[in-house]
């Protein structure tokens, strides 16, 4: 091939790759729209939240409440209007015996998602306030009994 001549096969391959990438991008946009997300950023946020919910469930099953609280605080910082972070922080605080913090976080979750009261936040708030009023267990002592309040999976958003 002489200088200045175009390698047609090479150029066609480049065009095919570009078209394939464009088709993939269009497919992703179609999936996102079909799933009901208004934009790709919302879709990515939802995926990240789902991953955090799975990690949170694992931490609670393993009774790693301190790690769960740290993860919840990161979620609250990144998404301050997401009630799930406050719910998770509240339930972790409860299980760590930090009842005042539990009430604070759970009441914030309830303000963001009032429908969660009966199933999610209400039982923890009630039991935390009972623990604070009876003062039978000092704040900061981990709550060992799991029979009185059973943590529901994080309700999500």
pLDDT tens digits, residue range 119-156?
889 999 999 999 999 865 555 555 554 445 666 666 65
The CATH number of the domain holding residue 112 is: 1.25.40.10
Tokens of 73: 């605080």
For the residues of 56-82, what is the DSSP string, one character each?
HHHHHHTT-HHHHHHHHHHHHHH-TT-
Best CA proximity match to 85, nearest among 52, 120, 125, 114: 52
**Which residue carries 């065009």 as its tokens?**
15
Q: How confident is the model at residue 97 (pLDDT cuts 50, 70, 90)?
A: very high
pTM here is 0.62
Examine residue 7 and state whether it is found in any structural domain, yes or no.
no
Per-residue pLDDT, 141: 58
Round to whole Å and give the CA distance between 152 and 23. Answer: 41
Per-residue pLDDT, 42: 60
Tokens of 143: 């709550």
**Which residue carries 């996102």 as its tokens?**
32
Examine residue 25 and state whether it is found in any structural domain, yes or no.
no
**For residues 127 and 149, is the Cβ–Cβ distance under 8 A?**
yes
Examine residue 4 and state whether it is found in any structural domain, yes or no.
no
Mean pLDDT of 106-113: 95
**For residues 105 and 90, is the Cβ–Cβ distance under 8 A?**
yes
Round to whole Å and give the CA distance between 63 and 26. Answer: 43
Per-residue pLDDT, 149: 65
pLDDT > 90: percent of the chain = 41
Give 93's contacts (C-beta < 8 A, 6+ positions apart): 65, 69, 99, 101, 102, 105
What's the burial of 152, exposed, middle or buried (CB within 10 Å: 0-12/13-18/19+)? middle
Examine residue 30 and state whether it is found in any structural domain, yes or no.
no
Q: Give 107 or 45, the one with higher predicted confidence.
A: 107
Examine residue 9 and state whether it is found in any structural domain, yes or no.
no
Domain count, the chain: 1
Domain of residue 110, residue span:
50-157
Examine residue 142 and state whether it is found in any structural domain, yes or no.
yes
Q: How confident is the model at residue 71 (pLDDT cuts 50, 70, 90)?
A: very high
Examine residue 140 and state whether it is found in any structural domain, yes or no.
yes
Examine residue 148 and state whether it is found in any structural domain, yes or no.
yes
Per-residue pLDDT, 146: 44
């Amino acid at each position: 091939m002489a200088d200045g001549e175009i390698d047609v096969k090479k150029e066609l391959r480049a065009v095919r790759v570009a078209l394939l990438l464009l088709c993939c991008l269009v497919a992703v946009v179609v999936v996102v729209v079909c799933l009901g997300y208004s934009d790709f950023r919302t879709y990515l946020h939802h995926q990240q939240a789902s991953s955090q919910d799975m990690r949170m469930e694992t931490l609670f099953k393993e009774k790693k409440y301190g790690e769960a609280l740290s993860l919840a605080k990161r979620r609250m910082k990144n998404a301050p209007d997401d009630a799930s972070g406050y719910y998770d922080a509240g339930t972790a605080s409860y299980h760590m015996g930090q009842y005042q913090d539990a009430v604070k976080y759970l009441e914030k979750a309830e303000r963001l998602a009032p429908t969660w009261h009966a199933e999610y936040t209400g039982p923890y708030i009630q039991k935390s306030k009972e623990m604070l009023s009876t003062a039978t267990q000092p704040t900061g002592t981990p709550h060992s009994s799991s029979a009185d309040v059973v943590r529901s999976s994080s309700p999500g958003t």
